[in-house]
Amino acid sequence: MGQVSAFVVRSKLLPEDRVENGGNGSTGDERELDYVQILNGLLPSSIRVLAWCPVPEEFSARFSCRGRHYRYFFLNMNGELDIDAMRKAASYFIGENDFRNFCKLDVQKQINNFKRRIVSADIVPYEGIPANVDSKLYTLELQGTAFLWHQVRCMMAILFLVGQRLEEPEIVRYLLDIEKYPAKPEYEMAHDVPLVLYDCRFDGLEWRYQADSSNVHEEKILRELFGQWHDHKLKETLSGLLCATVGRKGNHILPGGNTDEAATFVMGGDGYRKVTKSYKRVEKRKRQRAFEVINESYRKTAKYERQQLKMAERKDSTDNNGDTMEE
């Protein structure tokens, strides 16, 4: 919801009149193109541009970002999750830590620094819009300066295990201790759908919203979004009705219950439960190879050689043109 992208577009203005070059944003009576309306006319209805901002060439939507705010939504049906335990475990993420055990390694990037700073992490009730004080929805409110690949989903996976009382909150502290856990234990990431990039923080950006006194553009976006919401709400209602119908047919349990005492149902954030006959604690699971070993193995592959060759060709092309580019 707070995604930011950066790309080159054409302009109606002279270079010296553009804001990013110190101009006032107009050439005589000529105003800048309405990028918001143009892009929204090309994009699918599930993607909507809200505002734009001129930036200098060296700006990077990824590397110029000073902070990110993530939200991960989940249901707590019938009190099946210990929210206090999850909140305690989440608090251990705060600060600068090595998150190698809470991410998926991207060998193409050859990352060797896994330290990231978490500014805040908390589990809070989410009443929704419009507000419903009886809602069973919660969200992990997570803010940090930067994140590794799939870091939030890995963090949430461990929090779910803590919430189900399959692990103690201290498992987070143990996994952040790279001397005790130099390699990541094997576990499944939490589901991707409930994860939202809620906001991104940049310094000095002045967003430009479409100047339309009649708010026609905004009303159109709201109509489209309402249509999406209405569609999902109807599907939610019909699915709930089906659950109630099936439940009247005989013996049943509510979500989160368990009729097989020998089995354990593990949550993953998608509403389904993975059944395991014998749950193995994270500290006793098989561990992946150390990232140094994985990176070294990738550097010996033909794919790595092709990647390096392509990067070298791009660099030569850039140097010859006298331009700069982001790697």
- What is the per-residue pLDDT across 102-160, written as a single tens digit (0 to 9) for each? 999 888 888 889 999 999 999 999 998 888 888 899 999 999 999 999 999 999 999 99
93 vs 35 pLDDT, higher one: 93
Question: Are the beta carbons of 188 and 279 closer than 8 angstroms?
Answer: no
Same domain, 31 and 143: no
Give me the mean pLDDT over the 172-189 stretch.
94
In angstroms, rounded to a whole number, what is the distance separating the alpha carbons of residues 86 and 61? 32
At residue 323, the pLDDT reads 45
- Our count of domains for the chain comes to 3
Angle at CA of residue 209, ends 203 and 213, nearest 5°: 150
Does any domain span residue 115?
yes
Identify which of 52, 49, 6, 7 has the alpha carbon closest to the alpha carbon of residue 25: 52
Domain at 141, CATH number: 3.30.70.660
pLDDT band at 325 (very low <50, low <70, confident <90, very high): very low
Same domain, 11 and 146: no
Same domain, 60 and 76: no
Between the alpha carbon of residue 65 and those of residues 93, 95, 199, 275, the distances in Å are 20, 18, 10, 40
Give me the mean pLDDT over the 167-194 stretch.
95
At residue 324, the pLDDT reads 39
Identify which of 215, 89, 104 has the alpha carbon closest to the alpha carbon of residue 142: 89
Does any domain span residue 220?
no
Same domain, 46 and 91: no
- What is the per-residue pLDDT across 211-268, written as a single tens digit (0 to 9) for each? 654 567 778 888 888 898 899 999 999 998 998 888 776 555 555 555 556 688 899 9
Alpha-carbon Rg of the chain, whole angstroms? 24
At residue 252, the pLDDT reads 53
Same domain, 190 and 114: yes
Does any domain span residue 316?
yes
Same domain, 192 and 71: yes
Return the amino acid letter for 76. Answer: N
Identify which of 89, 73, 101 has the alpha carbon closest to the alpha carbon of residue 165: 89
Same domain, 160 and 47: no
11-15, 25-29, 78-82, 205-209: range with lowest mean pLDDT: 25-29
The DSSP result for 45-66, as a single string, is TT----EE----TT--TTTT--
Does any domain span residue 132?
yes
- Indicate the pTM of the whole model: 0.85
Tokens of 238: 């019909």
Domain stops at, among 64, 99, 118: 64
Whole-number mean pLDDT of the chain?
Answer: 87
18 vs 114 pLDDT, higher one: 114
Same domain, 174 and 275: yes
Angle at CA of residue 109, ends 108 and 113, nearest 5°: 140
Return the amino acid letter for 307. Answer: Q
Does any domain span residue 238?
no
CA-CA-CA-CA torsion sign (246, 252, 256, 259): negative
Same domain, 75 and 163: yes
User: Which segments of the chain are extended strands (E)?
Assistant: 26-27, 30-31, 51-52, 67-75, 95-98, 115-125, 137-144, 195-201, 208-209, 264-267, 273-276
- What is the per-residue pLDDT across 255-303, written as a single tens digit (0 to 9) for each? 555 555 668 889 999 988 888 888 999 999 999 988 889 889 989 998 8
Does any domain span residue 120?
yes
Tokens of 148: 């590794």
**Cβ–Cβ contacts within 10 Å for residue 76, how many?**
18
Same domain, 137 and 274: yes
Which residue's entry shows tokens 């590397």?
A: 63
At residue 251, the pLDDT reads 54
Same domain, 11 and 80: no
Q: What percent of the chain has pLDDT over 90?
A: 50
- What is the per-residue pLDDT across 59-95, written as a single tens digit (0 to 9) for each? 999 999 999 999 999 999 889 999 999 999 999 999 9
Question: Which residues are 116's β-sheet partners?
Answer: 97
Give the domain extent around 194: 67-201+264-288
At residue 250, the pLDDT reads 58
Domain stops at, among 64, 85, 105: 64
Does any domain span residue 222?
no
Question: Are the beta carbons of 243 and 128 closer than 8 angstroms?
Answer: no
Domain stops at, among 64, 96, 111: 64
Give me the mean pLDDT over the 12-37 stretch.
84
The DSSP result for 110-158, as a single string, is T----EEEEEEEEEEE--TTTT-TT--EEEEEEEES---TTHHHHHHHH
Does any domain span residue 246?
no
Same domain, 139 and 279: yes
Question: Are the beta carbons of 36 and 209 closer than 8 angstroms?
Answer: yes
